[in-house]
Amino acid sequence: MTGFDPTAELERLIACTAKLAAAGLTPATSSNFSIRADANCCLITASGRDKGRLAADDFMRVDSHGNTIDPGRTASAETLLHTQIYRERPDAGAVLHTHSLAQTLLSMRHAQDGFIEIKGYELLKAFHGIKTHDTAIRIPIVANSQDMTALCDAIAPAFAEKAFWGYLIEGHGLYTWGRDVEEAHRHLDAFEFLLTAEMTKLGFRA
């Protein structure tokens, strides 16, 4: 990825995660975040860290298949979901995973459908490659599991779609990504607004 500076991106990610924690998207040390370090390695949050107080030492290196490069450290249980995204999307530079009421409740309500369709909103143009509000996207939903390989297998077919920037795990939260931290954060903001709007339409209250 030409022009991608992992050191600078890590600083941006730390600032981003502080904002997400302040917004209530990382409750109880949940959530995990990563950036691509190079073609074969990413930096991901170590397990159990307070996401509102991250520093560079709270990130660790794993290879493209989720194996720990830094001895004696434990990566997030969901590391394989991050490395899958980097393998499937060579242009992805950052992955954000968060938890909110809208993400959790709507993923449960629409679980049997396997997706949430969102259409007609101006904010759809926040997603890379979408130029008009007059469009629709489907956010895939996969059943929750403690088996990360099973989760990877469940979401794998969705990567065939070009306009695919995020997915939900039922009763859990959202995974989204971008070419860098700024774009990933923009995508997360858009998903959270759109999901909250849909939740409000259904009569749920955050």
CA dist 110 and 133 (Å) reads: 23
pTM of the prediction? 0.94
- At residue 183's C-alpha, the angle toward residues 137 and 96, to 5°, is 80
Block means of pLDDT (10 residues each) for the chain, length 206 residues? 77 96 91 93 89 91 92 86 96 96 95 96 96 96 96 97 94 97 98 96 72
Q: Look at residues 19, 51, 15 and name the one whose alpha carbon lies nearest to residue 32.
A: 51
Contact yes or no for 14/55 (Cβ under 8 A): yes
**What's the pLDDT score for residue 80?**
97
**What's the pLDDT score for residue 73?**
84
**What's the pLDDT score for residue 114?**
97
Q: Write out the E strands in the chain.
A: 32-38, 41-45, 59-63, 94-98, 115-119, 136-142, 166-169, 173-178
**What's the pLDDT score for residue 186?**
98
**What's the pLDDT score for residue 60?**
94
CA dist 56 and 9 (Å) reads: 11
**What's the pLDDT score for residue 24?**
94
